[in-house]
Amino acid sequence: MASTAKTIKVEQTGSPLRRDHTQQETLIGLGLNKIGRTRELPDTPMTRGMIRKVQHLVRIVDQK
């Protein structure tokens, strides 16, 4: 049986330069480090919390 885990596609839109180091580390934890990069991540409360912390630097492209 195939798993139907929900995912979120996130794109980095802002630079981590001159931001708090915890925001930089959160972007790295999400797998983002340059503007324009996208990642498909599992839709979990932990991932949502990380996205919320850097919501001014990323945008959600697609939810499945």
Q: Which amino acid is at 45?
A: P
Structure tokens at 35: 């503007």
Residue ranges of the chain with per-residue pLDDT less than 50: 1
At 2 the pLDDT is: 53
* Residue 31 per-residue DSSP state: T
- Tens digits of per-residue pLDDT, 14-24? 999 999 999 99
Rounded to two decimals, what is the model's pTM? 0.86
The pLDDT, as a whole number, for residue 59 is 97
**Residues 10/4, Cβ–Cβ less than 8 Å:** no
- The angle formed by the CA atoms of residues 25, 31 and 35, to the nearest 5 degrees, is 90
Ordered domains of the chain (ranges, CATH) = 7-63 (3.30.1390.20)
For the chain, how big is the Rg over CA atoms in Å?
A: 12
Residue with tokens 């001014």: 56
Residue 5: its pLDDT value, please? 85
What's the mean pLDDT when you consider all of the chain? 93
